[in-house]
């Protein structure tokens, strides 16, 4: 097959409408696996967290993890889904070395949650509603490590290693309905959806949602149809998208690639594709199996899941404040305009500011530290705010030192610099750098008298009632105290000494 050239993004949009479909797999943070008692901790020695059930040994019998079902129902409720009153697990049969049972236990056509939606916040502060088709329970596979090849993929590898620790870890797959009408914003919508879902799952405390560790994984389905058409085009499903930014890049790349295919008169092949972080491009994976290939049938070793209405209601009662409710509350409490709220959200500052307030700082001060000085520092280092080596508690402590008059703003920034430079806690930086405000009145008075004596002309003017002349004396005192005096108090003292 030829490699058609990519089409300029603007031209893609002149000719086509994109359609998206996002499948997100989330590993639940239960202590034990979906159908056995093996631990689920990430990063253990390979093949130390396995048993006859998750290794699929003959005669082993699975038992459903109740906490996993509760998490699935809570996710469904938070996504505004209907919770199915009855459903069976099914066996999805296929052979792959990382799946020791040779089938995956999954809810095939009887998902626990269906027909929901998630409102997704875009960068400009507007929202789009993404409809959810279903959320269903399944189990994770093990992991293969292909050794010796250039790409880390099986092709060209010398040998492969298998780790079954992850086999049987509870997974929820959340699938959207086709997302249409987003036009040029399709890549952004894809990223914003995964972001919103991640934040929701984090608020529910059902997963640690680490894309870099694979506990949140996104497959992005993309197709194009001629502008104004209503019949969807053929989709590809891009896997291996390991960061929020990659979700956006992968969708955008697929749009430009598929447009190239279509404009040369060829057809888009329905297939899975792999996203390559380093090049920002996708390459073909396998052509997609159809449902028949999997020979689905109901799992005979498990009873159906039949959550009672009472249980579902009880779980509804356990839902925490959800991200959009929290945003609304914070907006009201801190009296933010839509634009201010959007900027705080985009900067990833909400959690940090809330934690700083929780540590005792007034909201206004907490906000201004994070969005002004600390944002500048993050920018200069090329990291996210949350990546700065300073904690909300430390920021709150610096704010308290300013409030008590022990630091002025300039010194406070130096203390923060010290914390960021790894010099320890704020108090340690104050002590080590000698940064406390000079609040010893005797020392201040002496400094003021000295400055007045050094500038007799200015002193004379002040004595004559020209208070504006005090500025020069304040400057001299601040200089003499290396900026560590309270300028307001210095001014008061100057006027006192000259009257
Ligand atoms: P599969 O089992 O092939 O992964 P799923 O139903 O689990 O299929 O997921 C397919 C995803 O793609 C869903 O989010 C669906 O809404 C979306 N989708 C279906 N058709 C198209 C299309 N033509 N273009 C883009 N997305 C599509
Ligand atoms: Mg799927
Ligand atoms: Zn096990």
Task: Give the number of whichever ligand sits closest to the CA of residue 221.
Answer: 1
Which residue has the least CA distance to atom 3 on ligand 1? 288
- Identify the CATH class of 441-497: mainly alpha
Whether 221 lines ligand 1, by a CB cut-off of 6 Å, is: yes
Q: Is the CB of 111 under 6 A from ligand 1?
A: no
Grouping H, G, I as helix, E, B as strand and the rest as coil, residue 96 is coil
Helix (H) / strand (E) element for 160: namely strand 159-163
User: b/e per residue, 106-140, with b = 16+ CB within 10 A?
Assistant: bbbebbbbbebebebbbeeeeebebebbbbbbbbb
154 class by beta-carbon count within 10 Å (0-12 exposed, 13-18 middle, 19+ buried): exposed
Tell me, using a 6 A CB cutoff, whether residue 178 lines ligand 1.
Answer: yes
Closest atom, ligand 1, to C-alpha of 232: 23
Distance CA(115)–CA(132), nearest Å, equals: 6
**Site of tokens 């919508």:** 189
| pLDDT tens over the chain, length 499 residues | 556 689 999 999 999 999 999 999 999 999 999 999 999 998 899 999 999 999 999 999 999 999 999 999 999 999 999 999 999 999 999 998 999 999 999 998 999 999 999 999 999 989 999 999 999 999 999 999 999 988 788 888 999 999 999 999 999 999 999 999 999 999 999 999 999 999 999 999 999 999 998 999 999 999 999 999 999 999 999 997 999 999 999 999 999 999 999 999 999 999 999 999 999 999 998 776 677 789 999 999 999 999 999 999 999 999 999 999 999 999 999 999 999 999 899 888 999 999 999 999 999 999 999 999 999 999 999 999 999 999 999 999 999 999 988 888 989 999 999 999 999 999 999 999 888 777 677 888 888 999 999 999 999 999 988 888 899 999 998 888 888 888 888 899 998 988 8
Query: How many angstroms separate the CA atoms of 101 and 116, rounded?
Result: 32
What are the domain boundaries of the chain?
9-315, 323-433, 441-497
Evaluate: CB of 176 within 6 angstroms of ligand 1: yes
């Amino acid at each position: 097959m030829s490699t058609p050239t990519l089409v300029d993004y603007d031209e893609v949009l002149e000719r086509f409408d994109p359609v998206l479909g996002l499948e997100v797999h989330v590993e639940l943070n239960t202590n034990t696996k979906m159908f056995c008692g093996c631990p689920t901790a990430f990063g253990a020695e390979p093949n130390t967290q396995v048993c006859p059930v998750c290794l699929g040994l003959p005669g082993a019998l699975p038992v459903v993890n109740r906490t996993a079902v509760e998490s699935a129902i809570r996710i469904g409720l938070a996504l505004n889904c209907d919770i199915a009153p009855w459903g069976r697990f099914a066996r999805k049969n296929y052979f792959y070395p990382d799946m020791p049972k040779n089938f995956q236990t999954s809810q095939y056509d009887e998902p626990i949650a269906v027909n929901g939606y998630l409102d997704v916040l875009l960068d400009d502060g507007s929202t789009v509603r993404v409809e959810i088709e279903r959320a269903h329970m399944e189990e994770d596979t093990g992991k293969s490590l292909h050794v010796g090849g250039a790409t880390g993929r099986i092709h060209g590898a010398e040998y492969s290693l298998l780790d079954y620790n992850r086999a049987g870890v509870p997974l929820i797959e959340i699938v959207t309905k086709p997302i249409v009408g987003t036009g040029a914003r399709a890549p952004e919508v894809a990223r914003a959806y995964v972001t919103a879902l991640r934040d929701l799952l984090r608020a529910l405390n059902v997963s640690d949602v680490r894309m870099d560790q694979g506990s949140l994984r996104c497959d992005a389905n993309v197709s194009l149809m001629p502008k104004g058409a209503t019949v969807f085009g053929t989709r590809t499903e891009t896997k291996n998208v390991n960061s929020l930014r990659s979700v956006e890049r992968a969708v955008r790349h697929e749009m430009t690639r598929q447009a190239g295919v279509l404009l040369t008169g060829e057809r888009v092949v329905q297939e899975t594709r792999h996203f390559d972080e380093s090049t920002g491009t996708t390459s073909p994976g396998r052509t997609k199996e159809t449902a028949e290939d999997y020979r689905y049938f109901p799992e005979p070793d498990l009873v159906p899941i039949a959550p009672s209405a009472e249980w579902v209601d009880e779980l509804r009662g356990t839902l925490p404040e959800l991200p959009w409710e929290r945003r609304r509350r914070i907006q009201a409490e801190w009296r933010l305009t839509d634009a201010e709220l959007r900027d705080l959200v985009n900067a990833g500052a909400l959690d940090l500011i809330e934690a700083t307030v929780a540590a005792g700082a007034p909201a206004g001060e907490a906000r201004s530290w994070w969005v002004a000085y600390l944002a500048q520092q993050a920018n200069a280092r090329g990291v996210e705010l949350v990546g700065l080596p300073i904690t909300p508690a430390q920021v709150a402590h610096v704010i308290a030192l300013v409030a008590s008059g022990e630091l002025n703003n300039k010194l406070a920034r130096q203390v923060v610099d010290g914390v960021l430079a790894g010099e320890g806690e704020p108090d340690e930086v104050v002590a080590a750098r000698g940064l406390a405000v000079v609040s010893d009145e005797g020392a201040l008075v002496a400094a003021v008298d000295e400055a007045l004596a050094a500038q007799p002309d200015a002193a004379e003017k002040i004595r004559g009632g020209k208070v504006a002349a005090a500025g020069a004396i304040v400057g001299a005192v601040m200089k003499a105290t290396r900026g560590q005096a309270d300028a307001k108090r210095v001014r008061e003292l100057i006027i006192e000494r000259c009257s």
